[in-house]
């Protein structure tokens, strides 16, 4: 029987994968992984976007789970491989409507 892979420690701040420009602001992009005891061999991740260098006001948005990989390294690789245009589109979809 093959032992289950070791899970990486959960980083409450997420893993920084990119910085993008959108709406006249810089946004730091983080990969956040969920720990799901029902799926111990699956790495499920979402992206969180935080305004870079925000003074007192914290602006943040996040996607739903968009990465489901069999290893931590695969999840990180897929997140880091996303181009700026794709990340900006995900950020736009995660931001509240301003209408």
pLDDT for 89: 97
pTM above 0.85, yes or no: no
State percent of the chain over pLDDT 90.
61
pLDDT for 2: 37
Structure-block tokens of residue 87: 């990340």
Backbone angles phi, psi at 49, to 5 degrees: -115, 125
Domain locations along the chain = 15-94
| Residue 97 C-beta-side C-alpha neighbours within 13 Å | 1
Backbone angles phi, psi at 29, to 5 degrees: -110, 130
pLDDT for 5: 38
Three-state SS for 15?
strand
pLDDT digits (tens, 9 = 90+) for 31-61: 999 877 777 788 999 999 999 876 656 689 9
């Amino acid at each position: 029987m093959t032992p289950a892979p070791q899970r990486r420690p959960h980083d409450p701040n997420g893993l920084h994968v990119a910085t993008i420009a959108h709406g006249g602001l810089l946004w730091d992009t983080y990969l956040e992984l969920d720990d799901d005891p029902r799926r111990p061999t699956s790495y499920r991740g979402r992206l969180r976007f935080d305004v870079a260098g925000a003074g007192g006001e914290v602006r943040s948005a996040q996607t739903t789970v968009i990465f489901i990989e069999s290893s931590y390294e695969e999840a990180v690789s897929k997140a880091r491989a996303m181009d700026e245009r794709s990340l900006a589109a995900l950020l736009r979809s995660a931001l509240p409507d301003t209408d």
